[in-house]
Structures are given as structure tokens and as C-alpha cells.
DNA sequence: AGTCGATCCTAGCACCGCTAGACAAGTGAG
DNA sequence: CTCACTTGTCTAGCGGTGCTAGGATCGACT
């Protein structure tokens, strides 16, 4: 019995290694550089081993996305719980969101940009993704304002943040005024 | 002389054919399906011909992006010029923007999502891109509000629209409430 | 009419995601 | 202790990708 357990442990450990290595490689050189061959070489196994853990490259991206979403949710909660009033919380939320996207661009892409084969806004949406949205909802429902559904408000605010994050990183927006754009967004959208 | 002219004309015609075919193929089956082999087959030339017009696939995407940006600018101007007051103009602008993204997803991706090798927010940004931003700016500077730079306001509003467009199409947002999200955005961001 | 230059295509490179089938190593039974 | 068998891993290969070198062909000028 304990032999089987050991093997399972080793297998789980290797799976973590795959995900961590994929993430590392993606952050270092972009997702284009994350090929099954390079990934296999880095974990010091042959290519087919990857396919005994994941159905394909998509699923590996999906695994990185889930891990990242959990981290993001934690970061958002940590930032908002340190603030006293709703207004400060929203600002902290927005800043933390954009900072996460900037510091973990590959992970952010895995979550929101790439196809990781994950379901969104459905019943079978994985827990970490639902939880990340919940973290946004918790703070934003305080400043939704009258006559607006908090979920709808959260979606809209989130979309604005997502737009800022992606356009900035893609070089579509001048990076200097990021902070002032956040202030504008919070000033106008949040009803405090 | 006229022989050379004829050849130049034919060459330009073929270049238009390449761009149009790439766009068509991308809208039909997605950019992943736009391979140099398939593209060459559709225009009934061999692969290397593509490389006598464009440096590579990136530049073809870039060409589609420029064409699309010009169309988008025209669509935005047409929609806003048909509205009387600033408030109606902003709503029309937002709706038209999102409609363009929804009806031409591949073109939208070429402009804002994919790497077409284009410069943004710099001096050497191609004219159609600058003009599309100008079209946004024209309408949005009317509703910027006091103490805010119109350019900054336009960037922020644009980012919000971009977020809505991409998240909706990627299945990250439930598609039903799109209109209500637009109303919320206009209500809060535009100072009328 | 013959040369010469432009134009286009065939063939191929190195790489991609993914998989079939050979092979070795570890397990349990006799 | 030996031997069959299962489990795990690897080598090799398939069809695809973007891109390019080098040869063939065809038209224009001398």
C-alpha cells in the first residue's frame, strides 16, 4: 500500500513541477516559448510524460490559470482587508488588480486571455475563478449605488480594469498615466 | 513605361487580394486557420509570393488591422454624427464600438489583441490608428468633465469598452446584459 | 534573335503539438 | 529465486507550422 502512496505523491509532485515550470518559462520568455519540447527538457522528462498528466498544452495553461486565479483572489482580499472605508478599499482593489497583471503578465494571460479550456460565468466554472470574481464583488458591492445590480456593476468595473491592464501591457496605452486613470475610474464609477 | 505601370497595378491588386483573403479566412475560421499555406492556396499563388509583399505573417495581420481601424473610425464617426446631444453621441459611440468588435471579431483582434508589428501611442503610429483614437476623442472630449485631461478620459473610457468587448467575446461575461453594462458605463463616466 | 533580369515555384529547413509502439524496471506469484 | 506481467518511460515519427534557398520560366530590351 505505502508503495502506491509514495508513487502517487511523486506523481503529484511532478505535476506541480510541470505547472510551476510552465509558469516560470512563460513569465521569462512568453507563452510562445512554452513548447512541449522545451517544457519536457526543463523538467528532465520526455515529452509524452506531459500527456500522462494533462490532456494537452491547453490544460497546462488552464492549470497555471487556476493557480494564478487563487493567488490573485488572495492578493485582492489582502489589499482590501487592510483598508478602512469603502472608497479606499476600491482604490486598493483596482491598484492591486493592475499590479498583479503587470507583475505576472503570463499568468494574467493564462487566466483571461488564452484558451485554457476553462468555463466562465457558468455552473461548472472552477472554484478559484468564481472566488476571484467573488473577491471583486465583495468590495465593489459596497459602492455599487442605488438601482444597479452589484453583479452587473462588478462585471463592468472589472471589464474596465481588464481593459486598462491589457491595453497598457500591449503598448496600446502610454504607461505613465496609469495611476491617474485608476483614480478617474474610481472617482466616477464608485458611488461613495 | 505603361508596361511597368500595369505590373505595379497588378501587384497592388494582388496585395489587396492577400489582405482581403486573410481577413475573410480569419473571420470565417479564426486567425489560427490563417496559415501561409492556406492563404497561398486561396489566392492561387505559392507561399513565397506572400513574402514578396509582406515581411511575414505579422505584417499581414498588421495590414488587416490598419484596414479595420480605418473602417472602425468611419463607423464611429457615422454613428456619432447622427446624434444631436453629447449624451446620445457617447451612447452611440459605445454601442457602435462594441457592435464593431462583435461583428468583426477577427479584425478587432488584429487591431487590439494580436501582434501585427504596429506601433501604438508613439510618433510613428500609423495614421488609421491615430485616426480611430481621434474619432473616440472627438466625442468623448465633450463629456470629459472639469479638471480631467480629455486624452486621459478617452483612454480610460476606451479601456472600459475594450474590456467589455474582449471579456464578452471570450465568454468571460454573460452576453445577455451587454446593453445594461453600456448604460452603466455611460451614466457614470460621462459628465453630461 | 538572343541575352538578361524579373517573377514564380518546388523543395526543404527547423520547429510545433501530439501519439504509437518498443523497451526497461519494478511487482507479485509460484 | 525465478519468471510472467504490469506499469512507466522513452525513441521515433506523423502531419502541421512559418519561412527561405535555388532553380526554372517567361517576358522585355538590345
Q: Over 90: is that where the pLDDT of A22 sits? A: yes
- Minimum Cα–Cα distance from A182: chain B residue: B156
Q: Over 60: is that where the pLDDT of B175 sits? A: yes
Q: Is A168 helix (H, G, I), strand (E, B) or coil?
A: helix
**Polymer length in residues for chain A:** 192
Lowest-pLDDT choice from A120-134, A174-188, B4-18? B4-18
Residue A99, judged by CB atoms within 10 A of its CB (0-12, 13-18, 19+), counts as: middle
Q: Over 80: is that where the pLDDT of A75 sits? A: yes
- Sign of the C-alpha dihedral, residues B41, B46, B47, B49? negative
Q: Which among A167, A168, A174, A187 is the top mutation candidate for probing chain B, defined by the most B β-carbons within 10 Å of its own β-carbon?
A: A167
Contacts of A120 in chain B (CB under 8 A): 170-173
Per-residue buried b or exposed e for A17-29, using 16+ beta carbons within 10 Å of the residue's own CB: ebbebbbebbbee
Band (pLDDT 50/70/90 cuts) for residue A152 is very high
Q: Which of B175, B181, B169, B150 is nearest to B27 (CA)?
A: B169
Mean pLDDT of B45-65: 97
Alpha helix (H) ranges present in B30-46? Answer: 36-42
Task: Please give the pLDDT value at position A7.
Answer: 77
Residue B160, judged by CB atoms within 10 A of its CB (0-12, 13-18, 19+), counts as: buried
Nucleotide nearest to B54 (CA to C1'): D19
Mean pLDDT of A83-93: 97
**Domain boundaries B58-189, corresponding CATH code:** 1.10.357.10
Distances (CA, A) of B108 to A152, B62, B69, B70: 24, 11, 8, 12
Contacts of A166 in chain B (CB under 8 A): 162-163, 166
Distance CA B166, CA B136 (A): 18
CB of B29 within 7 Å of some strand D atom: no
- Nucleotides of chain C touched by protein CB (<7 A): 7-12, 15-21, 26-28
Task: Please give the pLDDT value at position A120.
Answer: 86
- Minimum Cα–Cα distance from A180: chain B residue: B152
Measure in Å the smallest separation between the Cα of A62 and chain B Cα atoms. 14
A67 vs A192, higher pLDDT:
A67
Nucleotide nearest to A10 (CA to C1'): D8
Q: Over 60: is that where the pLDDT of B1 sits? A: no
Task: Please give the pLDDT value at position B3.
Answer: 65
Distance CA B136, CA B93 (A): 8
CB of B32 within 7 Å of some strand D atom: no
Cell numbers at residue A108, please?
494574467
- Minimum Cα–Cα distance from B123: chain A residue: A174
Distance A150 CA to D18 C1' (A): 47
Residue ranges of chain A whose CB lies within 8 Å of a chain B CB? 112-113, 119-121, 148, 152-153, 155-156, 158-164, 166-167, 170-174, 177, 180-181, 184-185, 188-189
- The answer to whether the A1-53 and A61-189 domains have the same CATH topology is no
Cross-chain CB nearest to A181 (options B155, B167, B171): B155
Cell numbers at residue A126, please?
472552477
Distance CA A50, CA A45 (A): 8
Band (pLDDT 50/70/90 cuts) for residue B184 is very high
Task: Please give the pLDDT value at position A2.
Answer: 62
Query: Over the stretch A31-53, which tens digit does the pLDDT of each residue have?
Result: 999 999 999 999 999 999 999 99
Q: Over 90: is that where the pLDDT of A14 sits? A: yes
Task: Please give the pLDDT value at position A101.
Answer: 98
Mean pLDDT of B150-169: 97
Task: Please give the pLDDT value at position A119.
Answer: 86
CB of B47 within 7 Å of some strand D atom: yes
Q: Over 90: is that where the pLDDT of B10 sits? A: no
Band (pLDDT 50/70/90 cuts) for residue B162 is very high
Mean pLDDT of A126-137: 97
Mean pLDDT of A170-192: 95
Contacts of B160 in chain A (CB under 8 A): 156, 159-160, 163, 185
Q: Over 70: is that where the pLDDT of A3 sits? A: no
**Domain boundaries A1-53, corresponding CATH code:** 1.10.10
> Domain limits of chain B?
1-53, 58-189
Contacts of A173 in chain B (CB under 8 A): 120-121, 155, 159
CATH architecture of A61-189: Orthogonal Bundle (1.10)
Nearest residue (Cα to C1') for D28?
A: B3
Mean pLDDT of B82-94: 97
Distances (CA, A) of A93 to A129, A139, B55: 17, 8, 43
Distance CA B169, CA A113 (A): 11
Per-residue buried b or exposed e for B4-20, using 16+ beta carbons within 10 Å of the residue's own CB: eeeeeeeeeebbeebbe
Compute the half-sphere exposure of residue B107: CA atoms within 13 Å on the CB side of its CA: 21
B192 vs B160, higher pLDDT:
B160
Work out how many CB contacts closer than 8 A connect A with B. 98
Q: Over 70: is that where the pLDDT of B2 sits? A: no
Nucleotide nearest to A49 (CA to C1'): D9
- Average per-residue pLDDT for chain B: 95
Amino acid at each position: 500500500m505505502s508503495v502506491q502512496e509514495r508513487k502517487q505523491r511523486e506523481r503529484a509532485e511532478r505535476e506541480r513541477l510541470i505547472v510551476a515550470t510552465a509558469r516560470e518559462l512563460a513569465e521569462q520568455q512568453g507563452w510562445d516559448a512554452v513548447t512541449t519540447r522545451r517544457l519536457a527538457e526543463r523538467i528532465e522528462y520526455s515529452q509524452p510524460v506531459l500527456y500522462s498528466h494533462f490532456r494537452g498544452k491547453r490544460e497546462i495553461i488552464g492549470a497555471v490559470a487556476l493557480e494564478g486565479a487563487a493567488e490573485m483572489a488572495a492578493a485582492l482580499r489582502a489589499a482590501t482587508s487592510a483598508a478602512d472605508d469603502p472608497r479606499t478599499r476600491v482604490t486598493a482593489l483596482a491598484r492591486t488588480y493592475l499590479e498583479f497583471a503587470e507583475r505576472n503578465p503570463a499568468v494574467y494571460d493564462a487566466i483571461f486571455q488564452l484558451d485554457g479550456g476553462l468555463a466562465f460565468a457558468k455552473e461548472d466554472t472552477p472554484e478559484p475563478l468564481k472566488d476571484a470574481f467573488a473577491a471583486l464583488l465583495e468590495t465593489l458591492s459596497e459602492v455599487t449605488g442605488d438601482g444597479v445590480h452589484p453583479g452587473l456593476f462588478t462585471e463592468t468595473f472589472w471589464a474596465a480594469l481588464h481593459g486598462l491592464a491589457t491595453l497598457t501591457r500591449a503598448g496600446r496605452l502610454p504607461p505613465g498615466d496609469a495611476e491617474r486613470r485608476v483614480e478617474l475610474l474610481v472617482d466616477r464609477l464608485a458611488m461613495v
